[in-house]
């Protein structure tokens, strides 16, 4: 194996330590304790695990965690009324509605009900527009985590060829905006892209956000490229359930210069960035300067 491993778990621990330090300063100097409200509708087991983990980590960095669990059959109007209350609550600086929502709810309508200043997931249409026009926005956590790791590993990204496989609203598109902001030359590939391996081989930075286990092999990678694997796929191998990425780690690591593993790469950075976003939202709400290095 030639590639250097980019340790997302260690980097996320550093981000959480920074958030803890900054949250302590806010509490002592300004009596301000950032608060994150997480809303879970229904019983989806994976979502329950994420929500528990978010609540635990929020408390660990010295912020307030508010959990709201609603039954699957809750009418959408009740969820919207809860969001209105959270929007008006001064103790709440960040609001996250765990996706997916039950089928009878309109996710776009729900997300767009959140006050954009408290939209720590960065999915509100106002934040999408602000990011797209290079203005101060709340940035979606997963692409923000990828950007932080890349800056840390590569330094200045200006002029680099960045290829993203996947054009979702939560990963691919905001990732592209962030790369443009850092003056990369950006390509977004998707299921209709012709000759995907050739497109990917152009990349100095390759981000895989596809949702297909181990699809991106060494053949897709330019020697020395930096590979960020966003994928989280549960597969059965040798009679055991395993977590694998969208990148075939073995073959990719033979060619890449650096690569994020799954697990232990992008995943831990996503929650760390959620905590960072909540801290940033609390600073902005009070008109205080934002701590450096915790946003784009």
Q: Which residues are catalytic?
A: 54, 98, 121
Any contact of residue 174 with ligand NDP (CB under 6 A)? no
Q: Which stretch binds ligand NDP (CB under 6 A): 16-24, 108-116, 204-212, 284-292?
A: 204-212
Which residue among 211, 257, 263, 264 contacts ligand NDP (CB under 6 A)?
A: 211
- Enumerate residues 6+ apart whose C-beta is below 8 A from 292: none
Sole residue written with tokens 């391996």: 197
Are the C-beta atoms of 83 and 113 separated by less than 8 Å?
yes
Sole residue written with tokens 């929007």: 87
Helix pair 8-30, 266-286: axis angle to 10 deg: 20
Binding marks (x or -) toward ligand NDP, 261..280, rule CB under 6 A? Answer: -----xx--x----------
Q: Which stretch binds ligand NDP (CB under 6 A): 33-41, 73-81, 152-160, 209-217?
A: 209-217
Structure tokens at 50: 């994420």
Q: What are phi and psi of 114, to 5 degrees?
A: -70, 140
Helix pair 8-30, 141-154: axis angle to 10 deg: 110
Q: Which of 222, 227, 224 is nearest to 249 (CA)?
A: 227
Express the helix, strand and coil content of the chain in percent, nearest 5 each: 45, 20, 40
Considering the complex, what minimum distance in angstroms separates the CB of residue 167 from ligand NDP? 4
Binding marks (x or -) toward ligand NDP, 225..244, rule CB under 6 A? Answer: -----xxxx-----------
Which residue among 19, 82, 147, 171 contacts ligand NDP (CB under 6 A)?
A: 171
Considering the complex, what minimum distance in angstroms separates the CB of residue 30 from ligand NDP? 31
Binding marks (x or -) toward ligand NDP, 132..151, rule CB under 6 A? Answer: ----------x---------
CA distances 195 to 189, 192, 201, 294, Å, are: 10, 9, 10, 37
| Closest to ligand NDP by CB, 171 or 227 | 171
Any contact of residue 165 with ligand NDP (CB under 6 A)? yes
Which residue among 139, 150, 170, 186 contacts ligand NDP (CB under 6 A)?
A: 170
Which residue among 172, 174, 261, 291 contacts ligand NDP (CB under 6 A)?
A: 172
Are the C-beta atoms of 246 and 230 separated by less than 8 Å?
yes
| Closest to ligand NDP by CB, 12 or 86 | 12
Q: Summarize as ranges the residues that interact with ligand NDP (CB under 6 A).
A: 142, 165-168, 170-172, 189-193, 196, 209-212, 230-233, 246, 266-267, 270
């Amino acid at each position: 194996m030639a590639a250097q491993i980019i340790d997302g778990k260690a980097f996320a621990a550093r981000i959480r330590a920074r958030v803890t330090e900054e949250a302590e300063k806010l509490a002592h100097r300004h009596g301000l304790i950032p608060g994150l409200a997480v809303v879970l509708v229904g019983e989806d087991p994976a979502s329950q695990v994420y929500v528990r983990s978010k609540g635990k980590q929020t408390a660990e960095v010295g912020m307030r965690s508010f959990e709201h669990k609603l039954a699957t059959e809750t009418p959408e109007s009740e969820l919207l009324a809860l969001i209105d209350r959270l929007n008006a609550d001064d103790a709440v600086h960040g609001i996250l509605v765990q996706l997916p929502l039950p089928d009878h709810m309109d996710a776009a309508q729900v997300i767009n009900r959140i006050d954009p200043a408290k939209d720590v997931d960065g999915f509100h249409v106002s934040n999408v527009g602000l990011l797209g026009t290079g203005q101060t926005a709340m940035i979606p956590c997963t692409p923000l985590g990828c950007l932080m790791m890349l800056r840390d590993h590569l330094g200045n990204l200006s002029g680099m060829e960045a290829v993203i496989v996947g054009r979702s609203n939560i990963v691919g598109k905001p990732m592209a905006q962030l790369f443009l902001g850092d003056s990369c030359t950006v390509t977004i590939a998707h299921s209709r892209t012709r000759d995907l391996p050739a497109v990917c081989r152009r990349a100095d930075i390759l981000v895989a956000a596809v949702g297909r286990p181990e699809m991106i092999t060494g053949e897709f990678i330019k020697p020395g490229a930096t590979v960020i694997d966003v994928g989280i796929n549960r597969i059965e191998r040798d009679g055991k359930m395993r977590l694998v990425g969208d990148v075939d780690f073995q073959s990719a690591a033979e060619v890449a210069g650096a690569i994020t593993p799954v697990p232990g790469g992008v995943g831990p950075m996503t929650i760390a960035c959620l905590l960072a976003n909540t801290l940033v939202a609390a600073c902005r709400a009070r008109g205080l300067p934002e701590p450096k290095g915790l946003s784009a």
